[in-house]
Structure 1
Amino acid sequence: METKPYKGSTLLLEIIGVLLALLFLVPFYFLVSNSFKKYGDILLDSAALPNPWTVANFTRAWDIMNFPASFMNSLVITVSTIVGLAIICSMGAYRMVRHSSKYNNILFMLFVMAMVIPFQSIMIPLIKVASWLNLTGSIPGLWFAYLGFGSSMTIFLYHGFVKSIPLEIEEAATVDGCSPYGVFWRIVFPLLKPMTVTIIILNSLWVWNDFLLPNMMLGEAQRTIPMSTYAFFGQYTKQWDLALAGLVMGVLPILAFFLTLQRHIIEGITAGSVKG
């Protein structure tokens, strides 16, 4: 196999890539390093390494945030949302693609248009409707809101991916006696794995880190990790040492989850889930 010569332009691109990577990693350096400092050391020199290193911030933040309860609330909300979006939106997108009609096309365009509506413009009507339906102050109410806000982008992504699946595969399964639901769950949905993993990652990052919607709809007993971290920022004081430690504890689970699923994305792409 002939290898291409190493050019100066390649070296320049690699240097630019390294510099961009360092630029994006700088905030993580400040987050992690300052989480191990005392409050006075953060104010004195936030860019220096901790001296001495202390884990007292993490133990105090763990207790103040009631981290196990906040973690479970965030986990339940995130998992239930991404499962609901993956199931409902994949079926909806499949129906719109395989049973194309004027009404399905109009419905799909409505979902696409809904993607550009900013949340801030509808949050007050949303809270009024949720209060009227007794959905505020509960995790199920927040789950329904997330399904509504996340369905537009999820259906849009699934819609484009379903088009790439050859119709002959489904016709062959139907001839073999597979029911319509069997065709979708046994044939189509496994072929959607690369897009499903991508959707899981995008929606997990969004739901796990979201603060505004849970803060508007949940009560004190259902606090998520972002809501618990916000408790360190008062009107007159900001406990940066505890807040940064809480942010590190909140970032680690979703970071590990992202790195784990990243491998599956690469596997799905290289395998070429659909072969025409």
Structure 2
Amino acid sequence: MAQRQRYREGILEALRLSFLYFLLVLYLIPFFLVFVNAFKDRSQIIANPFRLPSAFHLANFIEAFKKMNYPYAFWNSLVITVLSTALIVFFSSMTAYLFARLPWKFNRFMFFLMVASMLIPFQAIMIPLVKIYGSFGLLNNRWTLMYMYLGFGCSFAVFLYHGAIKSIPLELEEAAMIDGCSRFQAFFKIVFPLLKPTTTTVAILDVLWIWNDFLLPSLVLISPRNRTLPLSTYYFYGTYTSEYGLLLASLILSITPVIIFYLFMQRHIIRGILQGSIK
């Protein structure tokens, strides 16, 4: 009886694994098509998009690199992503520290207000937001875009930091302040280094969000010189609609940096989220 039960469990486990591998193949097919067809010309793609290219030439990538003005787009995305993420980490950590260590009624109210603001979709406020900033002449400015990212990204970051800070013993800060540290110094010398897993998680999630974001930059950045990589890819697609190889090559050029970043940093995500949100 026990042997039959183990045999049945083995069959169910094999079926589950087979189903998961099947889903994995379905998930990877679009990536396979993008990668393979980026090395072909238009006639080869139309003839058979599933066939491997006869030779892996980089002509599509070189041409896409030049025509989409990749260096400027990459630099804009890099500056906006790095500075926006740094601002979110800096202000969110201090705000969460204030909410966690000074439990005033006003602070509790503001914390719950920030958490509740995560339920409001951006699409509900984007038209008034653009009209207000446009009336003050603040559009087409990278600093305006970074300021908006700070506003939209702080709520979730404060939520993660708040849970992590509450798990840090208050006695560590009290000992530092007895030794002569101010509260500001105690935060940056004692508390903030202990928040490294949460900081890493916030940074990874915000980098992925800001680097890949299309809607907000498309509303704020008007000049071609200020375009980010998603915007450059979009306008490149509008210009070379029938050149499928060029389009797929530009897509790979756009997503490669953030994929590399994610592969190096992914192991920190779950650990940081568990530390910040469960405690």
Bin of the TM-score, shorter chain as denominator length: 0.7 to 0.9
Are residue 241 (structure 1) and residue 245 (structure 2) matched? yes
Are residue 192 (structure 1) and residue 195 (structure 2) matched? yes
Are residue 203 (structure 1) and residue 206 (structure 2) matched? yes
What is the deviation of 1:29? Answer: 1.3
Aligned-partner residue type, residue 83 of structure 1 = A
What is the deviation of 1:99? Answer: 0.5
1:67 to 67, 70, 79: 70
Contact 1:232–1:239 (8 Å) recurs in 2: no
Deviates more, 1:97-106 or 1:13-22: 13-22
Aligned equivalents of 1:40, 1:99: Cα separation in 2: 66
Q: In the TM superposition, what are the counterparts of 1:23-34 in structure 2 within 5 Å?
A: 23-34=26-37
Are residue 175 (structure 1) and residue 178 (structure 2) matched? yes
Q: Which residue of 2 aligns with 1:111?
A: 114
Indicate the RMSD between aligned Cα atoms, in angstroms: 2.6
Q: List alignment gaps of at least 5 residues for structure 2.
A: 1-5
Partner-residue secondary structure (3-state), 1:145: helix
What is the deviation of 1:262? Answer: 2.9
Q: Which residue of 1 aligns with 2:145?
A: 142
Aligned-partner residue type, residue 40 of structure 1 = S
Aligned equivalents of 1:251, 1:197: Cα separation in 2: 21
Contact 1:78–1:204 (8 Å) recurs in 2: yes
Deviates more, 1:29-38 or 1:136-145: 29-38
Are residue 253 (structure 1) and residue 257 (structure 2) matched? yes
What is the deviation of 1:37? Answer: 1.4
1:217 to 193, 217, 220: 220
Aligned-partner residue type, residue 184 of structure 1 = F
Percent of paired sites with the same residue: 46
Partner-residue secondary structure (3-state), 1:234: helix
When normalised by structure 1's length, the TM-score is: 0.88
What is the deviation of 1:214? Answer: 0.8
Query: How many residues of Structure 1 are paired with residues of Structure 2 in the alignment?
Result: 268
Output one character per residue of 1:58-97: Cα deviation in whole Å (capped at 9) or x when no partner: 0110011110111000000000010000000011011101
What is the deviation of 1:244? Answer: 1.1
Structure number with the higher helix fraction is 2
When normalised by structure 2's length, the TM-score is: 0.87
Contact 1:93–1:156 (8 Å) recurs in 2: yes
Contact 2:229–2:254 (8 Å) recurs in 1: yes
Q: Which residue of 1 aligns with 2:60?
A: 57
1:227 to 215, 228, 231: 231
Call closer, same or farther: CA 1:46–1:74 in 2, change over 3 Å: same
